[in-house]
Amino acid sequence: MQTADVVIVGGGVMGCALAYQLARRGLGVLLLERDALGVGSTGRCAGGVRQQFSSEINVRLQRLAVRLLLEFDEETGGHAGFRQIGYLFLLTSPELVDDFRCLLEMWRRLGLEEARWTTPAEARELVPGLEVGDVLGGTFCPTDGLAGPADVTSGYARAARRFGARLLEGVAVTGLGVRGGRIEEVVTTGGRVSTRLVFDCAGAWSAEIGRMAGLELPVFPYRRHVLVTDAFPELGRTSPMTVDLAASLYFHPEGDGVLIGMSDWSEPPTFSTEVDWGLVERMAAAAAARLPALGRAGLKTAWAGLYETTPDHHAILGPAPGVEGFWCACGFSGHGFMQAPAAALVLAQLLLEGRSEVDIGPLSPRRFAEGELISERAVI
Ligand SMILES: Cc1cc2nc3c(=O)[nH]c(=O)nc-3n(C[C@H](O)[C@H](O)[C@H](O)COP(=O)(O)OP(=O)(O)OC[C@H]3O[C@@H](n4cnc5c(N)ncnc54)[C@H](O)[C@@H]3O)c2cc1C
């Protein structure tokens, strides 16, 4: 039987970032990915990285994540492709305006001083041609931006391997051996592994891994679509990620085209990633209503992937109550690409040093049973 200090289930950005942070601290890491590294939600992600959130814990984590992404190339030898083109939130109701005015104060208190209020006219300067007739105001943070999901994932994976981590593809975890209330082994399609520590980094499939240990983790899969247009030079390549929050619509430059995303909140949880072409048409129309020039753009491609959503739209990070040795790094609710660098660092610190530079107590799996859910309103 193989042995490992720690087994990481799932080879998306989260699993790879964690493999790196734990291996560089000297742990014998075995990461098991049933398919190929980065082909889950990570491979379908829009690459957005922002610090403008409504909960303090998300802002703190994201400020750390931005610092780590800026240091990524030097630290890992990879290339994050981090471009700080900013995020522009467009607010179309008095309630959103009041909310974001208060959020700006909270962001400043947490050190996010560069975020600023934006009038409709300023929004149009940032994104020429933007339809702002219904926009009451907005916020813009120039240090938000975009990074490359595949590049960040492979950069962490390569760096983890340099520190001796074993990252195996095509090996699925099929069971967990729990004896006397603690993890003892991991059952896989490639045999059994003896270990006392498992990290659940299985994204939208995390609840399934939890059930293998007798845990109910509230992580639900929601299908989310994006489309990419043909070449569209009318939108500048440094134009910010633009978010119409009430419509759950966003777009940003992608290659020589534009990537457009929009959530369909009415769809129940599903593991299907089949493209709903009717929705893609509605997304294109909604984007053209916000930026009329987009009405002339051709469709290059579209795809769907899964958000791994929790009841309070916050990640689940830390040891699970009731099963010693089972740790969660999941439930990112559509923000896992941007949160993984910080989540991996603070989890490694918590595990090995007993405390972390951002207190992730509020994200503990205990909060669901204890009724201590956190609100996050800036959900796209
Ligand atoms: C359309 C779309 C746009 C998005 N845009 C953004 C964005 O702009 N910014 C952002 O931060 N986030 C975004 N997200 C969310 C982001 O993609 C996810 O939160 C993030 O990729 C989660 O990473 P992960 O490593 O936790 O999960 P995944 O990348 O899903 O990795 C989990 C892995 O676990 C593996 N696995 C599952 N079960 C098993 C098993 N039994 N044994 C072994 N392996 C297993 C899977 O094969 C998978 O590879 C977007 C998501 C979608 C769908």
Phi, psi of 241 (to 5 degrees): -60, 120
**363 and 318 in contact (C-beta within 8 Å)?**
yes
Whole-angstrom distance, CA of residue 291 vs CA of residue 140: 18
DSSP bridge pairs for 169: 33
Hey, where are the domains in the chain?
2-47+149-219+312-369, 84-144+220-306
Gap between the terminal Cα atoms of the chain: 45
**262 and 282 in contact (C-beta within 8 Å)?**
yes
Whose alpha carbon is nearest atom 15 of ligand 1?
A: 334
pLDDT of residue 375: 83
- Closest atom, ligand 1, to C-alpha of 36: 49
Ligand 1 binding pocket (C-beta < 6 A) is 9-15, 32-35, 39-42, 44-48, 172-173, 201-205, 224, 226, 261, 305-308, 330, 332, 334-338
pLDDT of residue 104: 98
Burial class (CB in 10 A: 0-12, 13-18, 19+), 278: exposed
Whose alpha carbon is nearest atom 41 of ligand 1?
A: 173
CA-to-CA dists, residue 110 to 56, 107, 376, angstroms: 8, 5, 16
CA-to-CA dists, residue 39 to 172, 191, 260, angstroms: 14, 23, 20
Q: Choose which residue among 37, 42, 211 to substitute to test ligand 1 binding: the one with the highest number of ligand atoms within 8 A of its C-beta.
A: 42
Whole-angstrom distance, CA of residue 131 vs CA of residue 207: 41
DSSP assignment letter at 292: G
The superfamily (CATH) of domain 84-144+220-306 is D-Amino Acid Oxidase, subunit A, domain 2 (3.30.9.10)
Q: Choose which residue among 20, 45, 69 to substitute to test ligand 1 binding: the one with the highest number of ligand atoms within 8 A of its C-beta.
A: 45
Query: Rounded to the nearest whole angstrom, what is the distance from the C-alpha of residue 267 to the centroid of ligand 1?
Result: 19
pLDDT of residue 377: 86
What lies within 8 Å, CB to CB, of 238 at 6+ separation is 83, 85, 253
Neighbours of 118 (CB within 10 A): 22
Distance from the Cα of residue 69 to its chain's centroid = 14
Phi, psi of 109 (to 5 degrees): -60, -35
pLDDT of residue 379: 85
| pTM score | 0.98
Query: Rounded to the nearest whole angstrom, what is the distance from the C-alpha of residue 161 to the centroid of ligand 1?
Result: 21
pLDDT of residue 253: 97
pLDDT of residue 378: 85
Nearest to 203 by CA among 347, 48, 8: 8
Nearest to 343 by CA among 1, 2, 10, 3: 10
Residue whose structure tokens are 């105001």: 137
Whole-angstrom distance, CA of residue 146 vs CA of residue 128: 20
- Closest atom, ligand 1, to C-alpha of 306: 53
* H helices present in 92-148, as ranges: 94-109, 120-126
Phi/psi zone of residue 346: left (φ > 0), alpha (ψ -120 to 50 degrees), beta? alpha
SS3 182: strand
Neighbours of 372 (CB within 10 A): 12
> Tokens in use for 293?
């020039």
> Tokens in use for 284?
């294109």
What are the 10-residue block averages of pLDDT along the chain, 380 residues in total? 97 98 98 98 98 97 98 98 98 97 97 98 98 98 98 98 98 98 98 98 98 98 98 96 97 97 95 98 98 97 98 97 97 98 98 97 95 88
- Closest atom, ligand 1, to C-alpha of 226: 1
What's the CA angle centered on 175, arms 172 and 178, to 5 degrees?
A: 145
- Closest atom, ligand 1, to C-alpha of 32: 43
Whose alpha carbon is nearest atom 8 of ligand 1?
A: 48
CATH 3.50.50.60 fits 2-47+149-219+312-369, yes or no: yes
Distance from the Cα of residue 146 to its chain's centroid = 12
> Tokens in use for 156?
């962490």
Residue whose structure tokens are 């702002």: 132
Q: Where are the beta strands (DSSP E) in 35-133?
A: 48-49, 87-91, 116-118
**207 and 220 in contact (C-beta within 8 Å)?**
yes
- Closest atom, ligand 1, to C-alpha of 335: 11
Residue whose structure tokens are 């998300």: 58
Whose alpha carbon is nearest atom 31 of ligand 1?
A: 12
- Closest atom, ligand 1, to C-alpha of 35: 47
Query: Rounded to the nearest whole angstrom, what is the distance from the C-alpha of residue 213 to the centroid of ligand 1?
Result: 21
Whose alpha carbon is nearest atom 19 of ligand 1?
A: 336
